[in-house]
Structure 1
């Protein structure tokens, strides 16, 4: 129709002159007809196009969605191994014997017979206090003993003479009794004088200060020429270093666990290892030999003590150390990789691959295991397949594609799901 209108317009265009007004009116009528036709055709075309889209969408929605592949996870088997259970603590070193050397008499301090820090033996001479006053005191007490003995000898003669006179009735009985009493007083004087002499000799012996134990001697706090006395303070300290003991607090929960496991095997069933302050492992091991009968109410812990050899003197009194207590006899326990363990507000748990490759959550109670592993005390049996990698992409109940860790290269990542 548009083509015919154009032809009519072209046929009328050459005409000019007075009749041109009629031709313009006819052209305006033809344009109005074309606009009306377009206004009808456009909505119809749009309606057909929309209907076609709806049909395609309907057909697309009626088709089932494409099946997504199960996510791949790396799994490891919970293994049963023979492991000596252990627990870590923090403790201190204490000397089995530690003696503070003090003066026991008052006097001027003389020579010192040791080097600070050296090893000394029991009975070794350490200090000497001025001896002359004490030697003089011994001499004086000795003289008093001799005087008392002379008086006792005279009293004995008097008693014998009075006894003879009493036998012949030449002296009264009262005189004899008096002589016997005087004899007793003289004998008591001898005993007292001898005791004073003994005390003086003891004090003279105290002028030589000797080590009461074998061990390593510390720093001398008082130098030669000073007056020392029992109240003057500590002269030095001698510490026995081999063997030595370590003490560490253990919570009641851990203590009950140890007692239940090893009470039938005795104290030797628990072995103690020491970590030195630099992090290295001490070569010697010891055994628990004492558990305190009282519990600290503020920390709910009991003090445990172990004795350990110290031939090289690496452990010193008061030293801060790490302690590992472990059983002598290995125990059969379930072990899993530490990478399989997850923790939330409730506590530790693991995800395992169960029947039908479905993910299951298991709450576990863990203990300390070898490097990179954890001991499962409860909540999981040996043989369970725990997820070690890819657990963040799955939830309990999801179906997964398990892949053993042995099949994955050491540096390879966890494969991503296809698609």
Structure 2
């Protein structure tokens, strides 16, 4: 028995007990009946609404709560300065090997050490010249003899010319005396040339610096016998200038031009040195696919030829969005990122990479910078997946 039938029974019971109801009572009964029905319907409606909100609605909320929380960022657009990280060996920019250019001999004295600064023409080592000095003295004596013979020949010619007019000397005798005088003068010139030659040989015995610079290496000691075949005895860095011969990959080498600046850090040192690329290799090694960028550096004690150093070469600027490496994915053919689309659904966006810096990678095309880009865990997402975006830091 429901609630409505109970009410009807009660009313019928009153009719039986108290007699027929008048019209007013009948109308009042029907009004109460309608009120009860309305209240009952409202209660049913509230119960249904409760189940909708806490049943199906709760499932939707629970589903939303189960969506993964993913860090995203809107990168914007910044001015990016390209940086190319390279490594290489330090060396003298212009290294001058110095050896013995004369006939050589025994080393008497070495006047410089490695690390000394020298000027152009400065004597680096002295070679024994005792034999050459005696030869020069003999050559000087030969000059004196030749000059005496020349003076005598000239005097004989002068006397003969005075006797020609008197008929005591024939023309043939004058010609003979003239030839004798000319030969004597020629012997004087030969003797003088021989003397100068020996003097030049003595001067070449000294080992001198061809230009001003820093002595890098000394391979000569007193008592050593040297000559033209002794090889390199000193190595000098012209003007003390150094360079880093940096190995650069084929792709990066195309971005490097002469004149761009670079920052060089020797291994084991904390100090950084500013240099400038002065030469870019015109060829690429077919085996390593690398070339060289030569970075000129001013002299500093920390820059030791033969040492290893790293460098950062500036490779131009561009205005573009900047993203960390973790945000960029690749399928082997193209690079792409995930962005947050409508309804917080993941969308794939192909991009073209630009300059690489220590702060991230510039996006040359594919993004405007206003998109919300997934920063990390992109490899675990798929297009169309719903996420909970959380603002993150690059």
Asked if the contact 2:80/2:319 (under 8 Å) is kept, the reply is: yes
Task: Note if 1:307 corresponds to 2:296.
Answer: yes
Deviations 1:294-330 (A, max 9, x none): 554545554332211123x211222222222115x75
1:403 aligns with 2:390: yes
Compute the TM-score of the two structures, normalised by the length of structure 1. Answer: 0.67
Q: In the superposition, relative to structure 1, how do residues 188 and 203 fare at CA in structure 2: closer, same or farther (>3 Å)?
A: same
Q: Residues 10-409 of structure 1 correspond to what in structure 2 (within 5 A)? A: 67=60, 68-69=63-64, 70-103=67-100, 104-114=102-112, 116-122=113-119, 123-160=121-158, 174-217=172-215, 220-240=218-238, 242-259=240-257, 267-268=258-259, 270-278=260-268, 280=269, 282-299=271-288, 301-311=290-300, 313-327=301-315, 330-358=317-345, 359-371=347-359, 373-405=360-392
Structure 1 residues 168 and 369: CA distance shift in structure 2, 3 A? farther
Q: Deviations over 1:353-379 (max 9, x none)?
A: 2345332232432432233x2222333
Contact in 2 for aligned 1:284/1:310 (Cα 8 Å): no
Take 1:363 and 1:381, find their aligned partners in 2: how far apart are those partners?
Answer: 11
Contact 2:349 2:366 in 1 (8 A): no
Task: Name the CA shift for 1:125/1:169 in 2 (closer, same or farther; >3 Å).
Answer: same
Partners of 2:182 and 2:341 in 1: how far apart? 102
CA contact (8 A) 1:75 1:386 kept: yes
- Contact 1:274 1:281 (C-alpha < 8 Å) held by counterparts: no
SS of residue matched to 1:140: helix
**Structure 1 spans left out of the alignment, 5+ residues:** 1-62, 260-266, 411-419
Deviations 1:48-77 (A, max 9, x none): xxxxxxxxxxxxxxx999553343321112
Deviation at 1:387, TM superposition (A): 0.4
Contact 1:120 1:211 in 2 (8 A): no
Measured in 2, the distance between the counterparts of 1:310 and 1:155 equals 65
Measured after TM superposition, the shift of residue 271 of structure 1 is 0.5
Task: Tell me how far apart the structure 1 counterparts of residues 165 and 292 of structure 2 sit (CA, whole Å).
Answer: 78
- Unmatched runs of 5 consecutive residues or more in structure 2: 1-55
The more displaced of 355-364 and 173-182 is: 173-182
Instruction: Give the distance between the partners of 1:401 and 1:169, measured in 2 at CA.
Output: 136
Distance 1:249 1:101 in 2: 28
Aligned length: 332
Counterpart contact for 1:241–1:316, Cα < 8 Å? no
1:95–1:241: 8 Å Cα contact kept in structure 2? no
Q: Provide the C-alpha distance between the structure 2 equivalents of 1:196 and 1:354, rounded to a whole number of angstroms.
A: 96
- Tell me how far apart the structure 2 counterparts of residues 181 and 295 of structure 1 sit (CA, whole Å): 70
* Pair 85,172 (structure 1): closer, same or farther in 2 beyond 3 Å: farther
Asked if structure 1 preserves the Cα contact closer than 8 Å seen for 2:88 and 2:308, the reply is yes
Q: CA RMSD in A?
A: 3.4
1:81/1:332 contact within 8 Å kept: yes
